[in-house]
Amino acid sequence: MAERVDRAVLDVSKLTTVGFGMHSMTWWGIMGMMAIEGTVFLLMIASYFYLHSRSVEWPPHRNPPDLFWGTLNLGLFLVSAIPSEWYRRRARKGDVRAVQIGLVAVSLFGIANIVIRYFELLHLNTDWSIDAYGSAVWTLMGLHVLHLLTDVVDTVVLTILFFTSLVEGKRFQDAEENAAYWYFVVGFWIPIYLVIYWAPRWLHA
């Protein structure tokens, strides 16, 4: 491109157009979202314990949620991190096939998580309209369900996208960030799981 010779220039035409992690815009966006939603989760957990501090019995004359389904889901979440991590790394290499397989796998995991989540909700042994404890448990659960659903939808859409001819560098970035967001959903399930399933047991004792 024609430039006046006397004008000092900084030529950037050799810079990469595809970047991962901190080099990708989307990564920063996702980080922002996580910061926001993470704060919501933390404040909700804080509210849970605040309500506990204001009550005599916890949970108020009823059993804590049944452990089975929640723990099962926890296990499933943790396992799902393996294919997720695998396709995340392959995405950095631009390996379409691997990313396709990984995304399909994680989508299936996600759907399984949702199904199990349904049974979890059936075994919380409380109701949101009974008392503040019930409200807190259900809201905490609801928040996580919301993220789970959103991310599974994202993943499915991205999976479909990866079977079209629209695949390009940006899509691999998306794939990587999708994995990152999945870790967020998985990661926050651990504290929430502990609060919902174990806090009542420990606080009860």
DSSP class of 72 = H
Contact yes or no for 32/180 (Cβ under 8 A): no
CA–CA gap between residue 81 and residue 76 (Å, rounded): 9
Torsion sign over Cα 24, 27, 29, 35 = negative
Nearer to other proteins, 32 or 75 (CB): 32
User: How many residues bind to other proteins according to rule CB under 8 A?
Assistant: 60
| Contact range with other proteins by CB under 8 A, out of 65-73, 97-105, 108-116, 133-141 | 133-141
User: Does 11 sit near other proteins (CB under 8 A)?
Assistant: yes
How far apart are alpha carbons 157 and 129 in whole angstroms?
35
In degrees and rounded to multiples of 5, residue 167 shows phi and psi of -65, 130
Residues 139-158 that bind other proteins (CB under 8 A): 139, 153, 157
CA angle 60–65–68, rounded 5-degree value: 160
- State which residue, 4 or 205, has the beta carbon closest to other proteins: 4
Nearer to other proteins, 46 or 78 (CB): 46
Site for other proteins in 62-121 (CB under 8 A): 92, 94
Maximum Cα–Cα distance across the chain: 83
Residues that bind other proteins (CB under 8 A): 1-4, 6-20, 22-23, 25, 28-29, 32-33, 35-36, 39-40, 43-44, 47, 50-51, 54-55, 60, 92, 94, 128-136, 138-139, 153, 157, 161, 165-166, 168-171
